[in-house]
Structure 1
Amino acid sequence: MKKDIILKAENISKQYRLGQVGTGTLSHDLNRWWHQVRGKENPYLKIGDVNDRSTKGTSDYVWALQDINFEVERGEVLGIIGKNGAGKSTLLKILSKVTSPTMGSIKSRGRIASLLEVGTGFNPELTGKENIFLNGAILGMTKKEIASKIAEIIVFSGCERYIDTPVKRYSSGMTVRLAFAVAAFLEPEILIIDEVLAVGDAEFQKKAIGKMQDISRTGGRTVLFVSHNMAAVKSLCTRLLVLQNGTVFYEGDVEEGIAFYLNSENENFDDNAINEFIQNQNDDFFVLKKVSIVQDFSSDNNFYTNKEIVISIEYNVIQDILGLRIGFDLVDLTSGAVVFRSFHDDIANEMQKTIKGNYSIRALIPENFLKNGLFGIKVAIGIHNVRWIVFDDNLMLKFNLTNVNGLNRAFTDSRPGFIMPQLDWHYFDN
């Protein structure tokens, strides 16, 4: 069966000169022109560092994208993920024809609507209603076609009360609501969505994802979706593209791609940084000395679902404290959701007094409780009426939990949710 390809990227590369607007200097432009008139290659295409924001590099030129190739079929929802600076937004700007590639070509069939930044394509001086007609005209639609959809757009956006107000007075959430409604209801053949939906509230994100599913499955339209929300990617996308340092790192199945991406991120962590941090900060009341995650109190950094997980916290109390609370958030790093928060005094009936001294406490997460996946421990400390601290993401301990199938647990990988408890089931006579 012949594929119905609606979008094709061939050898897409994009080069930027660091610290410069445009191509850089007049001498470089003249050098390019001189090579071009002699039928020779652009001399600056042979130089440049890879797109790795964490290293300084040796060249003024950097390849934001290098040799990107992929095809998208009609009705497909292609997810594009990767860490910050991987080249996702640059790729979408090229696909949307906001900027042109240094090398390569884009072939598309049909209208493309893009939401790359909050308020993309909106004139802030015009009202919401006027911007709907403006965006429709940009997409090549007639006034009559736009008018037939405008009621649906306004209702979906939830901005009816402010539809005759200039967009410059909208909040970022209202702006993205209206922009998404315009892009979705004016029926482009290809809809390109960058991370902007994260600006909206939970209710709107749910509506937007449902609408994208609807237009791809029943409308036969194509969606390209960039997000750091792995749960949204998993529920919406039919195929996945993972970018790393401006190149295609993985292309294929969504669940496999997400696992591949998370595992590759996990490989970049230093072993000690994954499971332990040591910090001796100055404080009048309290010093957090060490936090670590272990299984079986061994040095093995592999974690398994069928073993108890131990969270160990060592700290020093400088002076007697009333209402000290030590705890942590367990975070599912696939979705960013907090699975639970626990404190060492959860079972206490009244505020506790902690005497000056050194302490070591442990919390136990039972075996066969969590599903396999990538999790994080974010430490939280509270002192009643003094301060509340949740430690920075840079100090989040991370561990990759591998499923171990035991008796009657052959289908654990396909279960939804974050936890996998073994509940007691009982038979009763009718």
Structure 2
Amino acid sequence: MYETIIQVEKLGKKYIIGHQKQESYATLRDQMEKGAKSLAQKVINPFINKKSDPIREEYWALKDVSFEIKQGDRVGVIGHNGAGKSTLLKILSRITEPTTGRIKISGRVASLLEVGTGFHQELTGRENIFLNGAILGMSKAEIKRKFDEIVAFSEVDKYIDTPVKKYSSGMRVRLAFAVAAHLEPEILIVDEVLAVGDIAFQNKCLGKMENITENEGRTVLFVSHQMAAVRKLCNVAYWLERGKIRETGAVDDVIDSYENQMISRASSQLNGKIVNQEYGLELHSIDAFIEDDETTSTLKVEVKGYAQKQISRLAVAVRITTSDGVLVSNIWPRMANSFLDNIQGDWNCVFKYQDITRYLGGGDYLINIMVSLPGRGVIFKLEDAAIINIPPVDIYGSGNYFSWRQNGFVPLPVQFSYSCK
């Protein structure tokens, strides 16, 4: 029976947020009049101070969080942006203090929460390895023993005596991860910083984390929005929502619940159909699905609706983002010639993204839809209208896993068609 290595009881973290009262834009004349009035008031009564204090609000990033982690567990922490994932890791890493609750950790902790955390920009890569190792509590002899392995893993040996300030973000994260993974902490905490590196190095890091847990019995906490990576690496998952743990358990069970919740939240927006009475236009359904054949996978996005009267040049736009909101494709009407002309009655339009796994890596992607009329503005706008999961080609091989992160926005080739009854 493995011993408990991390114990958290009723953990909470509160922040005080200040809101300034927003003022409308003013002209130079308005500002001069305001200044003159203020000066006159001060002359009449110099003791009046009308400066208003900002509105102060309490925000609980985490509240009443309790759990136990056993030695050797590979824990994936999932949830939407703002759920409290990074705050939890910062508290466990002793970067920030909790407001309430108690934490008991048995063993040394190595954290990789931001690119180059703990690095000094003016020092060389070699010097930063020793500095970062000392921060992690390692002896100089221990660092020397692991030095060659760290440099070889990071693949920055050619620049090891160059100041870190001259490194690219990818080079810094390579070296930072290599130090954290090779200096033998009992607990390794990794936020989603691996997305900075290239595909081959990301796969290498995931393989290393899997190795140190399965073969060396160390514990890993891994935050990621890429569900395929969490499924592959972790055996336990914690789902955070609004600062609280919504569900814990086996990784597949928790991720399935998380993805089902995203699907139900997206589909509930339609709730049968949406009607715009002014233009006599209805939106009935939005479907996204993948069709596979022997050679390729095609993502299809189909939008259906009804026009009560004849409408010219109806524009349908499709935006695809990752589950954490990163834009990967944005198809506007002029880009795909996706105007629906002279429609009346039932109508549907289909966007086909062919060979989708060539352009997008494995993970969950959200489909966002906007319907508009030129010169009249937006009629329908649905965020997270549908969700699609694209499996990785080969998480440790030569596939395009995480490939979208290298180039950011991806101009996906798309075919468009529509029909009207």
User: TM-score, normalised on structure 2?
Assistant: 0.63
**2:147 aligned with 1:150, yes or no?**
yes
- For residues 325-370 of structure 1, give each alpha carbon's deviation from its aligned partner in whole angstroms, at most 9, with x where no partner exists: x8968889699999x99999xxxxxx999996448444499xxxxx
Map 1:71-110 onto structure 2 (within 5 A). 71-110=68-107
Write the letter of the residue equivalent to 2:180. Answer: A
CA distance in 2, matches of 1:188, 1:76: 14
Q: Distance in 2 between matches of 1:120 and 1:224?
A: 17
How far 1:176 sits from its partner (Å)?
A: 0.9
1:277 touches 1:397 (CA, 8 Å); kept in 2?
A: no
Mapped partners of 1:329, 1:291: distance in 2: 17
Distance 1:248 1:178, change over 3 A: same
Q: Is the 8 A contact 2:368 2:382 kept in 1?
A: no
Share of identical aligned residues, percent? 44
Q: Secondary structure at the match of 2:171?
A: helix
Match of 1:19, SS state, is strand
Deviations 1:298-331 (A, max 9, x none): xxxxxxxxxx995438997659xxxx9x896888
Structural RMSD (CA): 4.4
In structure 1, runs of 5+ residues without a counterpart are: 21-57, 280-288, 296-307, 345-350, 366-372, 382-392, 402-416, 418-430
- Number of residue pairs matched by the alignment: 316
Aligned partners of 1:230 and 1:335 also within 8 Å = no
Partner residue in 1 for 2:12: 13
Aligned partner of 1:252 in structure 2 is 249
Instruction: Give the letter for the 2:84 counterpart.
Output: G
Q: Tell which deviates more after alignment, 126-135 or 266-275.
A: 266-275
- Give the deviation of 1:238 after TM superposition: 0.9
SS of residue in 2 equivalent to 1:83: coil
- Residues 248 and 343 of structure 1: is their aligned pair in 2 closer, same or farther, counting only changes over 3 Å? closer
Superposed CA deviations along residues 15-39 of structure 1, whole A, max 9, x for unmatched, are: 111139xxxxxxxxxxxxxxxxxxx
Match of 2:109 among 112, 124, 134: 112
Q: What TM-score do the two structures reach when normalised by structure 1? A: 0.62
Letter in 2 for 1:94: I
Return the match for 2:170 from 163, 170, 173: 173
Q: Distance in 1 between matches of 2:147 and 2:129?
A: 8
C-alpha distance in 1, partners of 2:226/2:131?
A: 31
**Residues in 2 aligned to 1:234 and 1:267: alpha-carbon distance in whole angstroms:** 21
Alignment counterpart, residue 397 of structure 1, candidates 385, 409, 421: 385
The aligned residue for residue 212 of structure 1 is: 209
Structure 1 pair 62–342 and aligned structure 2 pair: CA distance change class (3 A): closer
Partner of 1:312: 304
Superimposed CA distance per residue, residues 125-144 of structure 1 (whole angstroms, 9 cap, x where no aligned partner): 11111100111111222222
* Aligned AA (1:129): R
Deviation at 1:263? 2.5
1:257-296 mapped onto 2 (5 Å cutoff):
257-269=254-266, 271-273=268-270, 293=285
Call closer, same or farther: CA 1:4–1:309 in 2, change over 3 Å: same
Structure holding more strand per residue: 2
Stretches of structure 2 that go unaligned for 5 or more consecutive residues are 20-54, 288-299, 353-362, 372-380, 390-400, 402-421
CA contact (8 A) 1:116 1:194 kept: yes
Say if 2:269 and 2:382, in contact at 8 Å, map to a contact too: no
